[in-house]
Amino acid sequence: MKRKITLKQIAKELDVSISTVSKSLRNSLEIGEETRLKVQAFAKFYNYKPNNIALSLKNRKTKSIGIIIPEIVHYFFSTVINGIEQVANEYGYSVVICVSDDSFDKEVLNMEMLANGSIDGFIMSLSKETQYKGDFHHITEVINQGMPVVMFDRVTNDILCDKVIIDDKAAAYEAVQSLIDNGRKKIALVTTVDYVSVGKLRTDGYEKALLDNGIAFSEDLIIKIEDVDTCEITISELLHARAFDAVFAVNELFAVTIIKTANKMGLKVPEDLAVIAFTDGIISKYSTPTITTVSQSGEKMGSKAAKMLIERLEAEEDDDEEHTENYTTEVIETHLIKRESTD
Amino acid sequence: MKRKITLKQIAKELDVSISTVSKSLRNSLEIGEETRLKVQAFAKFYNYKPNNIALSLKNRKTKSIGIIIPEIVHYFFSTVINGIEQVANEYGYSVVICVSDDSFDKEVLNMEMLANGSIDGFIMSLSKETQYKGDFHHITEVINQGMPVVMFDRVTNDILCDKVIIDDKAAAYEAVQSLIDNGRKKIALVTTVDYVSVGKLRTDGYEKALLDNGIAFSEDLIIKIEDVDTCEITISELLHARAFDAVFAVNELFAVTIIKTANKMGLKVPEDLAVIAFTDGIISKYSTPTITTVSQSGEKMGSKAAKMLIERLEAEEDDDEEHTENYTTEVIETHLIKRESTD
DNA sequence: TTGGTTTACGAAAACGTGGTAGTGTTGAAA
DNA sequence: TTTCAACACTACCACGTTTTCGTAAACCAA
């Protein structure tokens, strides 16, 4: 077992100075051809590669970006990571991933762990608990330290930084409008608890679509679900009452649960009940019937976020501390993917 | 914007030496109480945290582990990451993730990128291409450099290292046996191309179960799929011929595709066709009918792999280069999760 | 020979930390 | 008064790089 070779070892072996080795390897003209080639040959033979850590320390940049997300076993988030990873790789960055598990404390801890030099910048989506508490001091802190942060999807207005989002409100509006266009009148909304920013926005879009079409908006048709596993009862009750003929669900898990419940009761989708879900994931594609969804383009969000972050990082390099705080919020386009759950 | 404060800056500010500051913060008895408290107060006020990079360089360990996987938008792999992440976090490690995209070159590149000091050890699952080529020099290399590697799921016998796998053959055997127990006679196997190690093993288990039960084994009933999108035709042809009354699919994507094809042809699952899939993912849980699967316990694999790696890392610390190469292969238990696609 | 320019390399600092060894002062015991 | 220990702190080294600056030797022109 041979440990990785260092400049120092090469220098000692060839009986030259460390600087000579370093310069030879970087093809500096300062070094005579003979020495240069000798060093290069030796380095190649021993497969010399500069130590990343030492480089990071010297250059004050790690060439890696930190990702903080609420969950990883989650189609949307994993597509986002995929998008980030691809761009990062392209630019020679690695990604280090931390999962907050939707816990505020973990989010804070993870950020602190990474903020002490491990990474050059963050890409993150807020945990539920963080959104609920409204406490963003940990994010402010890293930003104040001069570390760029890009937020995506679950963002907050309380923090000034680059953001990548979809127009949740407009997308919800479009989805609900399409249900109305198909003659649906009683459209239910199945959503999460309020403090999740995107849930709120989607509710707004839903409401606006109804009102714009002269349909009464009723709180009774809004079903707020905290735990997927226990929601079946609520849903089946409402279905029994035939309270609605269409559903807009803020995620595909809710949607598929609704469809299954409806099927059990002998209701047909889409004839008796049309369903549209947010988040175009794998469930929608393979459920029976397949589910009409609003594509959320996680990959595009990820790659966009990564590009914004890296751009800022490389810009910093030139301007060197010049602070042009022109934060932008990128809105990724969504579109409706029509499948079998609507007519 | 205040950059992170360093020992040096504190020292300068308080007009003491760097070592005094360092020792004060580590509560060394060498330093008088007055100075110690003054330094600590100052450090706390400026929220001093030691720089990870400097520590890594000094201690020659980064407290982070590298994960190389073929895909990330993939239920099984993301559950594995989840398992790894949890354990890693518990022990104060971060995880940096690279996706090989099932490409040999990317796998090599990613490993090289991380191997130069960025991480303390690897947890990886081989890319298809790597398994196809049978070229593992990049892995041998990092192991030779003294960097521990733990492989999971898609492993190879050509590399000596710790491994975490499931008993693919036994699991496949159990699944097929359960189909036979339910009176199925013509059981098809839908699998991937041969060079993927797990695909091969599952085929072996399938074959053995048939033979043990005195059922003829026929190549005609083995369907090798390279691309999911184009497999529907093959499947429907075989279904038309009523060539089989049960299917064992090596992943849930194949399974759900088969079910959908069967449904289109008016065949009922499980009455006309029983289906079991490997990999208990999200599709199986939400498809209609829900699919009986072999649970692969990705999370357990991940946490086990992480534990093995970290244990080895911490052991190295003590023995310091003492090489007790007692590699182990951990076999994670699987079990059959019965759902609607079988009777 | 002198002065000046190349050529070819080395020494040292810096990045931030932590540990070992040392240094100077004080007070008390011998 | 000398000696020794305790105290409180500083110097220095190492981790692996890159880079700036310095300098010796060689060469050339005057």
| A50: chain B residues, CB-CB within 8 Å | 116
Q: For chain A, how many helices (H) and strands (E)?
A: 14, 12
| A78: chain B residues, CB-CB within 8 Å | 72-74, 78
Model confidence at B277, pLDDT cuts 50, 70, 90, reads very high
| CA nearest to B65 within chain A | A96
Closest to B286 (Cβ–Cβ): which among A4, A99, A287?
A: A287
The string of DSSP codes covering A81-126 is HHHHHHHHHHTT-EEEEEE-TT-HHHHHHHHHHHHTTT-SEEEE--
Which amino acid residue lies closest to nucleotide D13, measuring CA to C1'? B58
Taking the CA atoms of chain B, what radius of gyration do you get in angstroms? 26
Q: What is the mean pLDDT of residues A207-223?
A: 90
Position B200 scores a pLDDT of 85
Closest to B1 (Cβ–Cβ): which among A97, A99, A144?
A: A144
A321 has pLDDT over 60: no
Position B171 scores a pLDDT of 95
- B165 φ, ψ to 5°? -140, 170
Task: Inform me whether the C-beta atom of residue B59 falls under 8 Å from chain A C-beta atoms.
Answer: no
A97 with B98: Cβ contact below 8 A: no
Position A233 scores a pLDDT of 79
| CA nearest to B59 within chain A | A53
**Distance, in angstroms, between A78 CA and closest chain B CA?**
5
A residues 17-56 closer than 8 Å to B (CB): 47, 49-54, 56
Q: How far apart are CA A64 and CA A57, in angstroms?
A: 13
Q: Is B234 helix (H, G, I), strand (E, B) or coil?
A: helix
| Cβ-7 Å neighbors of strand C | A 15-20, 30-32, 34-36, 54, 57-58, 60; B 6-8, 18-19, 22-23, 25-26, 30, 48-51, 53-55, 57-58
Position A324 scores a pLDDT of 60
| Strand residues in chain B grouped as ranges (E) | 64-69, 94-99, 121-124, 149-152, 162-166, 187-191, 222-224, 246-249, 274-278, 292-295, 329-332, 335-337
Position A318 scores a pLDDT of 66
Q: How far apart are CA A303 and CA A311, in angstroms?
A: 12
B320 has pLDDT over 60: no
Q: What is the mean pLDDT of residues A121-146?
A: 95
B residues 135-154 closer than 8 Å to A (CB): 141, 144-146
- A224 φ, ψ to 5°? -100, 120
End-to-end CA distance of chain A: 66
Q: What is the pLDDT of residues B184-216, one digit of tens each?
A: 989 999 988 777 778 888 999 999 999 999 998
Tokens matching residue B140: 């041998």
A53 with B62: Cβ contact below 8 A: yes
Q: Which of A58, A77, A96 best probes binding to B when mutated, by most B CB atoms within 10 angstroms?
A: A96
B145 with A4: Cβ contact below 8 A: yes
For residue B32, which nucleotide's C1' is closest to its Cα?
A: D8
Task: Inform me whether the C-beta atom of residue B69 falls under 8 Å from chain A C-beta atoms.
Answer: no
Smallest Cα–Cα separation from B65: which of B138, B115, B125? B115
Q: How far apart are CA A155 and CA A59, in angstroms?
A: 31
| CA nearest to B264 within chain A | A288
Position B243 scores a pLDDT of 77
DSSP A161: S
Q: State the burial class of residue A39 (Cβ atoms within 10 Å of its Cβ: 0-12, 13-18, 19+).
A: buried
- A97 φ, ψ to 5°? -110, 130
C-beta of residue A72 within 8 angstroms of C-beta of residue B81: yes
Q: How many CB atoms lie within 10 A of CB A243?
A: 13
| CA nearest to A79 within chain B | B73
User: Which pTM does this prediction carry?
Assistant: 0.93
Sheet of B246-249: strand order equals B222-224, B187-191, B246-249, B274-278, B292-295, B335-337
Among A264-268, A280-284, A315-319, the range scoring the smallest mean pLDDT is A315-319
CA A52, C1' D15: Å apart? 12
Position A1 scores a pLDDT of 67
Q: How far apart are CA B343 and CA B340, in angstroms?
A: 7
Q: Is A195 helix (H, G, I), strand (E, B) or coil?
A: coil
Smallest Cα–Cα separation from B45: which of B33, B37, B53, B34? B37
**Distance, in angstroms, between A146 CA and closest chain B CA?**
6
